Amino acid sequence: MAGIKDVAARAGVSMATASRALTGHPSVSDAARAAVRAAADELGYRANGVARSLRTRRTRILGLVVPDVLNPFFTELARAVEEEARALGYSVIIGNADDRPEQLDHQLRSLLERRTDGLLVAPADDPSAELLRRTARSGTPLVFVDRWIAGAPGVPVVRADGRAAVRALVRHLHRLGRRRIAVITGPAATATGRERLDAFRGALGELGLPPRPELIGHGDFRAESGRRETARLLSLPRHSRPDAVFAADNLMALGALDAIRAAGLRVPAGIALAAFDDIPWFAHLDPPLTAIAQPTAELGRAAVRALADRIEGRPAASVTLDARLVARASCGEPGGARGGGTGRLGNVRRCDDGAERRERESGS
């Protein structure tokens, strides 16, 4: 394959001039520039990015490590990240940590070895995330997205704050007459899991509803755990059975829906169901599912921008966006008996309660 040496020879100039001509360096005569361009065209020259990266110490590749690519939330996040990165001239390598700490380390090592210019990570808060902390300290440009870990000061965090929306959801359920509200949480090891449970408990308290430990199911952000915990909830003695279930993410909500159907119950008549994380399909489910929507794509874009800031030497800031409640039919009332799925692909979003969108930035 033709190298810059060949181009230079053909154009009758030195490698130095050829390189300058091709990279747009100002001090090249118009004649030389034209000759080099022509020679490059004729030879079908394509710069070797590997050699360039070695010399410039920049790969223009970003690494993105997500805990579970199967989860639509992270799929959408990844898509937005890829899009914004491309707009900024970067490619993205996606690593799947598969919810296993050692797999996270593996991905991290692989990306570091490839000398990606920066890393976007959604880590589980595992105490053993030593490699991640070391990486943060070592000065590698790093930004946390959605989740973060303790002990990594100075690393910007881009995330959605779901607390207001969870409170809005609980009030929504309460207003519709639900009193025995169960929750299926995510792993306590994730910042998002803890936040959602805390907000849920707080909201119950505000409404004067007593906390009921038996109505808390411990899930792991996967469909099967949602199914299992919901089945358990439904098998409780009649008087302590829940009249609403709040699943702390979309996959667990789907599992819950399966369990509810398997038990022969109807939603929302027999039991209400709501989820954290909205996805387009929710509007088309039977019934359309009430959910808390994160500004997923915006999170991805903001995270990439923050990372690019870091990489290019600008100060990077943490970003917190707000999630908001999207009330559909699965808790009763909104959208009526049928419907809630009119219009285009899940864009029907009737917003309930306050929790208007705002964006705050805090210096990192």
Compare residues 168 and 219 and give the one whose CB is closer to a copy of itself: 219
Residue 275 to residue 186: CA distance in whole angstroms: 12
From 34, 43, 57, 233, residue interacting with DNA (rule: CB under 7 A): 57
* Residue 11 and residue 35 in contact, taking contact as beta carbons nearer than 8 Å: yes
Q: Binding marks (x or -) toward a copy of itself, 107..136, rule CB under 8 A?
A: --xx-xxxx---------------------
Q: Annotate 21-58 with b (16+ C-beta within 10 A) or e (fewer).
A: bbeeeeebeeebbebbbebbeebebeeeeeeebeeeee
Compare residues 82 and 352 and give the one whose CB is closer to a copy of itself: 82
From 34, 41, 48, 338, residue interacting with DNA (rule: CB under 7 A): 48
Which of DNA, a copy of itself, none is residue 265 near (CB under 5 to 8 Å by kind)?
A: none
From 16, 34, 38, 54, residue interacting with a copy of itself (rule: CB under 8 A): 54
Residue 48 to residue 51: CA distance in whole angstroms: 6
* Residue 136 and residue 150 in contact, taking contact as beta carbons nearer than 8 Å: no
From 11, 22, 61, 166, residue interacting with a copy of itself (rule: CB under 8 A): 61
* Residue 120 and residue 304 in contact, taking contact as beta carbons nearer than 8 Å: yes
Which of DNA, a copy of itself, none is residue 4 near (CB under 5 to 8 Å by kind)?
A: DNA
Q: Assess 281 for contact with a copy of itself (CB under 8 A).
A: yes
- Contact partners, residue 62, CB within 8 Å, separation at least 6: 81, 85, 90, 91, 92, 93, 116, 117, 118, 119, 120, 304, 307
Tokens of 183: 């929750």
Compare residues 62 and 155 and give the one whose CB is closer to a copy of itself: 62
Minimum distance, C-beta of residue 189 to DNA, in the bound complex (Å): 34
Residue 52 to residue 326: CA distance in whole angstroms: 48
Residue 60 to residue 80: CA distance in whole angstroms: 17
Kindly state the helix (H) or strand (E) to which residue 312 belongs, with its residue range: none
Q: Assess 14 for contact with DNA (CB under 7 A).
A: yes
Q: Assess 92 for contact with a copy of itself (CB under 8 A).
A: yes
307-346 binders of DNA (CB under 7 A): none
Residue 181 to residue 169: CA distance in whole angstroms: 11
Kindly state the helix (H) or strand (E) to which residue 54 belongs, with its residue range: helix 49-56
Compare residues 48 and 362 and give the one whose CB is closer to DNA: 48
Which of DNA, a copy of itself, none is residue 70 near (CB under 5 to 8 Å by kind)?
A: a copy of itself
Minimum distance, C-beta of residue 56 to DNA, in the bound complex (Å): 5
* Residue 278 and residue 294 in contact, taking contact as beta carbons nearer than 8 Å: yes
From 34, 39, 42, 56, residue interacting with DNA (rule: CB under 7 A): 56
Minimum distance, C-beta of residue 114 to a copy of itself, in the bound complex (Å): 5
Minimum distance, C-beta of residue 331 to a copy of itself, in the bound complex (Å): 16
Q: What are phi and psi of 47, to 5 degrees?
A: -55, 145
Q: Binding marks (x or -) toward a copy of itself, 208..237, rule CB under 8 A?
A: ---------------xx--x----------
- Contact partners, residue 60, CB within 8 Å, separation at least 6: 53, 89, 90, 91, 117
Compare residues 65 and 203 and give the one whose CB is closer to a copy of itself: 65
| Among the residue ranges 2-10, 93-101, 171-179, 275-283, the one whose residues contact DNA (CB under 7 A) | 2-10
Q: Which residues bind DNA (CB under 7 A)?
A: 1, 3-5, 12-17, 19-20, 22-23, 26-32, 45, 47-48, 51-52, 54-57
